[in-house]
Amino acid sequence: MNPLLEKFNTPFETAPFHLIKNEHFLPAVKKAIELAKEEITAIKSIALPDFENTIVALDRSGEKLNSISAIFFNLNSAETNVHIQTLAREISPLLTAHSNDILLDEALFSRIQQVYEQKSQLQLTEEQKTLLEKTYKAFVRNGARLDEKQKARLREIDKELSQLGLKFGENVLAETNKYELVIDNEDDLSGLPEAIKEAAAQTAEEKGKPGQCVFTLAFPSYLPFMTYAENRALRKELFTAYNTKASKGDALDNRAHIKNMLALKNERAKLLGYPRFADFVLEERMAKNAPAVMEFLHNLLDKAKPKAEKELEELTAFAKDLDGLEQLEKWDFAYYSEKLKKKKYEVDDELLRPYFKLENVIDGVFTTAEKLFGIRFIENKDIPKYHPDVTAYEVVDLEGKHLAVFYADFFPREGKRNGAWMTSYRGQKVMDGKDHRPHVSIVCNFTKPTKSKPSLLTFNEVTTLFHEFGHALHGMLANGNYESLSGTSVYWDFVELPSQIFENWCYEKDCLDLFAKHYETGAGIPVDLIQKIKNAANFQQGYQTVRQISFGLLDMAYHGTDPEKITDIHSFERKVMQNTQLLPEVKDTLMSTSFSHIFQGGYAAGYYSYKWAEVLDADAFELFLERGIFDKVTADSFKENVLSAGGKEHPSILYKRFRGREPRPEALLKRAGLLN
């Protein structure tokens, strides 16, 4: 028996991780593809196409395949191994081919087109209109109108792209896992807080190097070393290792993969009638086109760069006064920034950490969600988990009605890629009168507990947890009829609004008072410390804004340029980022080869959306500030018009319904201290 193909006999039909073995995946995927094909054949066999028997039936099809794929690819990100990675290279092309079989099916498209052409006569709700529009566009934008020769080439391109994306991610993970900075001299640990040294000693023990300290390229290890280590040469060594991932000319080098991906994406776009891949992507975004994105990024850059340059002048002078440093380098930035922040605002991460015990922050996130949206989280030990680090919860409303399943996975390990993300194992939909509730997960890489201390988060990790939880709320509170329009199934430059707005609560006393308590004494975070956090919120915001813009511009350059003109990845990156380069370039470093957001994730021609959504989140949070951060009317409106609405309607309509007007950039500029 293959547990993936059976009905999940688990609480809330959650994934039966305890029964699944790696060898179950491939046969399950193949069988699920067969079942999905039978569903498509059944749709095509009905004589007269209409909205229900074609559009809705198609949206409902492939449920088992979607479920198996979600389990498999989430494991490949959060708990992978060589066997799973090998399977991914076999499964990914099967899924791509199956998707193309549907999207390039002439008979199926003919039915969709017939329904689409009758849309003005059909009595459809706004949600139904959106589903019809989205379905029709999905087929057109994926080659339904191409001739047979073009369709065959599109299939080849999609297969190659799926393989290249997997390989890119595998290389970054392998590079992250293989590097170790081993330290056995106590002097080389000078400046590092005791908790960081203890964590590094624990890592060394886990890696069979007792009595030493090991630092890795996992963020909770890398960042504290760059922030506190006095040994400048070792900071440089670690910085160089981090920023040369997958670019060393060996088997893990991603440069050729990048060039191949860009060429294939561009060819695909041209095949579909678009000048560049960016034009294809942005047609289905709030920004609409590349010139609008570039104007947006350059307007922000014009305001942020002068501030960033002043911040850098201040930091350079500070480093010179403190240590006689003549030239500030990239591996010095975090180190001296932390010292300057402490001097200016009398606050630093190590001062704050004791107030941010992970378990308390989780409680704080849950309490904030309860106060705003009337939901509660109950740990459920009967829900199967894919790793002992994971905690599973049932989410209920205040009357105890089931809303969602929520998984939380917080610590780094070798089978997990770097970063933080929200994902889903099951989307929300209403079918046969039953509301099928979602299964949502957040995956992070936070500071691990040690033998003497619990997991104590940096303030940045606190905001990351709130950010990913904002995405999770978008998934958990979904309230639509169709899975392809529910939860986070929205325009890519709108999807970051729920996550980014939720970060704002971390800076507010009324929220911090709920959970920021000293892990030893239980004392609440002092009022003056909260004020210091707020005062420091704009610290080096100019620099951070320019840095984010530089990534957005690089992404747009890659996906808006003729790939034949990109002969060398290193020189292309350097040229594009020249105008946003504030510190001296470091020879041989290359961020593109580990830029997973755009070459492995879904952010290609969409990285700008982080800044775009910041405009929305700052503008939206101003309403909460005006009325009170836990104001029920405002929270209910945000829940109804943003979190629960998913992609039922165009995001600009949903946003205006919540805010009462179009978004204005002034709130972001004010918050970031970029207004004159």
Active site residues per annotation: 468
Written as six digits, the tokens of 5 are 């193909």
Written as six digits, the tokens of 277 are 């891949």
What is the DSSP secondary structure assignment for residue 16, as one 8-state letter?
Answer: -
CA distance 102 to 654: 31
Residue 499 and residue 473 in contact, taking contact as beta carbons nearer than 8 Å: no
Is the sign of the CA dihedral 489, 491, 492, 496 positive or negative? negative
Written as six digits, the tokens of 161 are 């792209």
Residue 255 and residue 247 in contact, taking contact as beta carbons nearer than 8 Å: yes
Query: What is the bridge-based pairing of β-strands 402-409 and 391-397?
Result: antiparallel
Residue 96 CB neighbours (<10 A)? 18
Nearest C-alpha neighbor of 338 from the set 541, 540, 583, 581: 540
Is the sign of the CA dihedral 121, 124, 130, 132 positive or negative? negative
Residue 9 and residue 16 in contact, taking contact as beta carbons nearer than 8 Å: yes
Written as six digits, the tokens of 576 are 């594009």
Residue 8 CB neighbours (<10 A)? 16
Compute φ and ψ for 450, nearest 5 degrees.
Answer: -115, -175
Count, in order, helices (H) and strands (E) of the chain.
27, 9
CA distance 368 to 624: 13
Residue 591 and residue 243 in contact, taking contact as beta carbons nearer than 8 Å: yes
Nearest C-alpha neighbor of 140 from the set 40, 563, 485, 132: 132
CA distance 319 to 50: 70
Nearest C-alpha neighbor of 189 from the set 222, 232, 231, 237: 231
C-alpha dist (Å) from residue 91 to 264, 601, 624? 20, 17, 46
Assign 3-state DSSP to the chain and report helix, strand, coil percentages, each to 5: 60, 5, 35
Write a three-state SS string for 583-624: CCCCCCCCCHHHCHHHHCCCCCCCCCHHHHHHHHHHHHHHHH
Task: Give every CB contact of residue 610 below 8 A, 6+ residues apart in sequence.
Answer: 496, 500, 548, 552
- Where are any strands of DSSP class E within 184-251? 213-215
Q: Which long-range contacts (CB under 8 A, 24 or more apart) does 628-635 make?
A: 629/504, 629/505, 629/508, 629/510, 629/511, 630/371, 630/372, 630/510, 635/372, 635/373
Please give the biggest Cα pair distance in the chain. 82
Task: Write down the H helix ranges in 412-489.
Answer: 459-476
C-alpha dist (Å) from residue 598 to 164, 241, 274, 502, 551? 12, 21, 19, 24, 10
- Residues 356, 357, 360, 366: what is their CA dihedral angle, to the nearest 10 degrees? 70
- Position 485, amino acid: L
Residue 316 CB neighbours (<10 A)? 17
CA-based end-to-end distance of the chain:
67
